[in-house]
Each structure stands twice: as C-alpha cells, then as structure tokens.
Amino acid sequence: MQYFNLKDPTQIVSFGEAIQLGLGNKQGLFMPSEIPEFFDRRIEELINMPFAERSVEILAPYLAPEFDYDEVKEIVHDAFNFSVKLESVNQIKNQHVLELFHGPSLAFKDFGARFLARCLSKVLGANETTVLTATSGDTGAAVAHAFYAVDNVRVVILYPKGKVAPLQEKLFSTLGYNIETIAIEGDFDACQALVKQAFSDEELRQEVPISSANSINIARLLAQVCYYFEIMAQHPQVNKVCVPSGNFGNLTAGLIAKVMGLPVEKFMAATNANDTVPRFLQDGTWAPNATIPTITNAMDVAQPNNFPRVEYLARAYGFKFNETIFSQSVSDAQTKAAVKSLYSKGYLADPHTALGVFACRDWDNVATLGTAHPAKFLDVLTEEGIIIELPPELEKVEDKQSLALDMAPDYATFKSYLLED
C-alpha cells in the first residue's frame, strides 16, 4: 500500500516511510492511497471471526508488501492481547459501551500505540529514532508502555503541566529508562505546536531522526479501525457509533471502517466545551477558540489535528455532515450528571465515555466507545461521591515519583534539549 500526503499529494510514500515520518511535507497528514472495500459475504465472514484474526485480515493490505501476512499476524496477535467488551448501558434503547480500556495503560490508545511500536521496531531494524509525542492524557501512557525498553527508540513525551489527571500522569512520567517526559508550562495545543515545529525543522532532523507516535501517525489509526468491527461482531443490531472526540483520530478510524464496508449508518463525534467541530458543522465556519480546560481533559483540543482526514474521507466517499457525521458539544455539568446517572443504573463510566453516552442519548442501537478506564479519573468520580478500588496498573504507580522535567513552551529550549541529550 502506498500513502499520500493530504497537503502535497505528489508526496507518495510506503507504509514504513509513513510511520517513520509521521507527518509529510508542509506538515501534511498521510492517508492510504486506496482503502480496501469488503462486500456482503466477506463482511459477514469477517464479523464472524475472532477479534485478532479479523484484525489481521483488516490490516494486512495496509502493510503489504513491506510486511507479509505472517508478520502482520505476529504483530497483531502480540499487540492486541487484551479483551474488548461490549457492555449494555440501556437495554430499552439498545445502547452500549465498547470497552477499549483493558490494555496495559487502561485506554483505547493501547491498540494504536502497541501496534505502532511493533511496526516501527521492525521498520527501523538497527537504526535509532526519537519518538516525539504530545499528549493531553492517555497517549503518553499508552506510548510509554508500548515503547518501554524497545531497542534503538528514545521516547520524548510532552504534556501540559498540571492539566493531566495525576494518576494518568504517573502512568507515563515514572517509567524512566528510554522514556523521557517534559511538563510544558502551557496547554495541549502548545505541546502539539512544539512537536509540529520539530517535525518541520530540517536542521534538527538531520541531527536527530524523529518519528511521531501521536494520532497523526497513520499506523495508530489503522489499528483503531479493527475495534469498530468488534461492535457489530458482539451486537449485530448496533448501527450507530458515538465517538468521544478530541483530536478526531478515533472518528477517522471509524470512517475508514465504514469505507471498508462496516455497516455503520451514523457517527456522533462528541466533544466537550472545545466545540470547534460542532460549530463548524452548524455554520460551516472553522473558528477555533482558545483551548478550554474541562473535566474530560484528554479531549481539551481546540484545533483537532486529524480533522483534515475526516474532511478528506467525507469528500472522497460522500459522507455528509449532519447526515452521516454528527457532532455535539457536552458541558462539564452534563458530563458529571451522565457519570452519576449511569452509575445509578449500574454502569461505571469514565467522564470521556459518559460524555459520549450523553451525546447520543436520543439514539437507539448505538455503541459509545469507552475510551478510558474510570479509575484514571478518580477526582471526578470522588466529587460525584463514587468511591472505587484502584486497578493493579494504577496501584503500582500511585506512590512513585514523577521523573518529568519542567519546560517553558519555547521551541529553542526544546530543540536544544533534543540535540543535547
């Protein structure tokens, strides 16, 4: 499969190049040149397969010819070695949550990060790279765990100081070894801007080969395509999906699944007060405001960097906004009420997931992606009077010391850090 740059379509690269580069010329995002489409009987066959086997079938065409079928099989079985569960949250309306947080960092990002780490490690061979990533929450933990102790890979994680849930932060800032963490005195967009600037800095790239593990990296999104199929495998009646959205990577993966033939009729991209996309869908103007801090901080993104992919897919495959792709902004008060109401009905959801369930409350036959384990957001739960036990993954890091370095959001400082270390 070849990949082209959305901003410079003359730049065509292989899968290996796309995942090493992360971003293309002019900071353009890579997309597969063609999306394999499956029809009727083949879709049925796929849906009937176990998760990992089906995922090999889905991913193999995107990695060929650089990776043969058996290599893809090995990577997928190793990367997706935890469960995906569809839980009912409202039987009358047939509403569900697809729990994607049973991996090592308790978030959906384990799928993408673990898949990317394995692909990148094969592509690199003996060459060294620095994986640069900005995180508003779960990416840091997923990337840190996926790349921990991977040979020839140095990981540098930037995150907004004081704006990531404390336990969440501990999951990535306490590992050390090849995982370096920097607390930036700014918001997520400031972290993302530093990473983007590094990618367009040719001088830096000559000295320090860099790769990205953010959801701009196409390998992560391809991995995420797989779990959308699991919704229909576990409940064939479900035909709508709600995606708690920040950078819109997860929605991009869902749209790719639809192009491949998955029978999803509608997507709801649920956002918090950072409502650039819902406003865009209403009046057609792209007018990002400053980032607003919310209790769903992993989604505090005012300029979602995957949105050009969503627009491209909508244009290329005729998905209409407000017909196939909907978007709604949910306030903190509504999210808290949703956490409480779900809990009273017997389902404990993290705030991001609860926000999604709230956004599609009027739909039936719908699955919301359960993007993080509730225990990662204890502060919100405690405020709502919900007390739970920590899962072992979090208990282990609770009392550990953060190893993160503080840094101003200044590119010159960041660049010299990358060059010096």
Distance of CA 249 to the CA centre of its chain: 5
Distance CA(179)–CA(213), nearest Å, equals 13
Q: Does 139 bind ligand PLP (CB under 6 A)?
A: yes
Candidate segments 22-30, 239-247, 325-333, 404-412, binder of ligand PLP by CB under 6 A = 239-247
Q: How many residues interact with ligand PLP (rule CB under 6 A)?
A: 18
Provide long-range contacts, Cβ within 8 A and 24+ apart, for 45-48: 46/229, 47/229, 47/232, 47/233, 47/236, 48/233
Q: Which of 115, 159, 227, 248 binds ligand PLP (CB under 6 A)?
A: 248
Q: Does 302 bind ligand PLP (CB under 6 A)?
A: no
Distance CA(262)–CA(229), nearest Å, equals 7
Q: Does 168 bind ligand PLP (CB under 6 A)?
A: no
Q: How far is CA 357 from CA 227, 270, 370, in A?
A: 18, 9, 9
| Cβ-based nearer residue to ligand PLP, 66 or 391 | 391
Q: Which of 245, 272, 276, 335 binds ligand PLP (CB under 6 A)?
A: 245
Q: Does 32 bind ligand PLP (CB under 6 A)?
A: no
Which residues 340-369 are close enough to bind ligand PLP by CB under 6 A?
352
Tokens of 212: 């990205």
Q: Does 215 bind ligand PLP (CB under 6 A)?
A: yes
Q: Does 133 bind ligand PLP (CB under 6 A)?
A: no
Candidate segments 3-11, 77-85, 247-255, 402-410, binder of ligand PLP by CB under 6 A = 247-255
Which amino acid belongs to residue 34?
E
Q: Does 89 bind ligand PLP (CB under 6 A)?
A: no
Q: Does 19 bind ligand PLP (CB under 6 A)?
A: no
Whether 103 contacts 160, CB under 8 Å: no
For every residue of 393-421, DSSP letters joined together read HHHTTTTPPP-PEEE-S-HHHHHHHHHH-
Q: How many CB atoms lie within 10 A of CB 128?
A: 11
Q: Which of 22, 32, 186, 246 binds ligand PLP (CB under 6 A)?
A: 246
Candidate segments 29-37, 85-93, 245-253, 329-337, binder of ligand PLP by CB under 6 A = 245-253
Q: Does 247 bind ligand PLP (CB under 6 A)?
A: yes
Distance CA(281)–CA(279), nearest Å, equals 5
Candidate segments 58-66, 78-86, 241-249, 378-386, binder of ligand PLP by CB under 6 A = 241-249
Distance CA(232)–CA(240), nearest Å, equals 10
Q: Does 212 bind ligand PLP (CB under 6 A)?
A: no
Q: Does 370 bind ligand PLP (CB under 6 A)?
A: no
